[in-house]
Amino acid sequence: MKAVRLPGLSDYAEVHALQQRLVAQRAAGEIDDVVLLLEHAEVITVGRQRGAAANVVEAGNVPVVRVERGGDVTWHGPGQLVAYPIVGLQGARKDLHRHLRSLEEAVMRLLVAKGLQPQRDDRNTGVWLPPAVTETGTLPRKVCAVGIACRKWVTWHGLALNVHPDPAAFARIRPCGFEPDTVTRVSDHLAHPPSLQELVAPLARELAHTLQLPFDGEIRASL
């Protein structure tokens, strides 16, 4: 597995086109598995779930993009660590549900190492932190969204971990169909939270572990 950290704030359309090229190359056997690690410039993406577009509340000047991944509406932007594993599924790993759970597990292992207590929700994908009392009652808080697409048994799209994004950004949507205050950030739960950059290499290592991919530990600056 090659891990590539894209610099700066990545334009969504450019990264989407890059993913498509990599998926085609991976399906043809021209490249090995790749994980892109990045921060997006602000964007709202709408997944394939029925009625997802209705959960865009007030986009303002933020681009809204329909995408191939499963799931509902998601916001991406500064302070959010995104990972896009371009991975061929073969043998026992030819299981999309297992792949989704492996992405969740990588994030959970990362957060446990930071002293947090992440959990799953049997009804919803993603990674959650223990319940908190909010204006809408007691509910778990979603810290990481997960949504994938698959073409010729090569996966793309992936996960978005809220490290320290502006919480007001989520008011533009009903994230994954929930109220904005369902979303939380790593920085809200630690007295001395890590920077986004400090989480890049550990997340790559955990993805390699849960996806059972060989990894030399190097974070590359380009493909």
* Active site positions, annotated: 176
E strand or H helix at 36: strand 34-40
Question: Going by C-beta distance under 8 Å and a sequence separation of 6 or more, which residues neighbour residue 102?
Answer: 210, 211
DSSP string, 152-180: TTEEEEEEEEESS--GGGGGGB-GGGS-G
C-alpha 189/C-alpha 75 separation (Å) is 20
The dihedral of CA 5, 163, 21, 65: what is its sign?
negative
Q: How does strand 80-88 pair with strand 119-121?
A: unpaired
| CB distance 84 to 36 below 8 Å | yes
Question: What torsion do the CA atoms of 66, 199, 8, 102 make, to the nearest 10 degrees?
Answer: -30
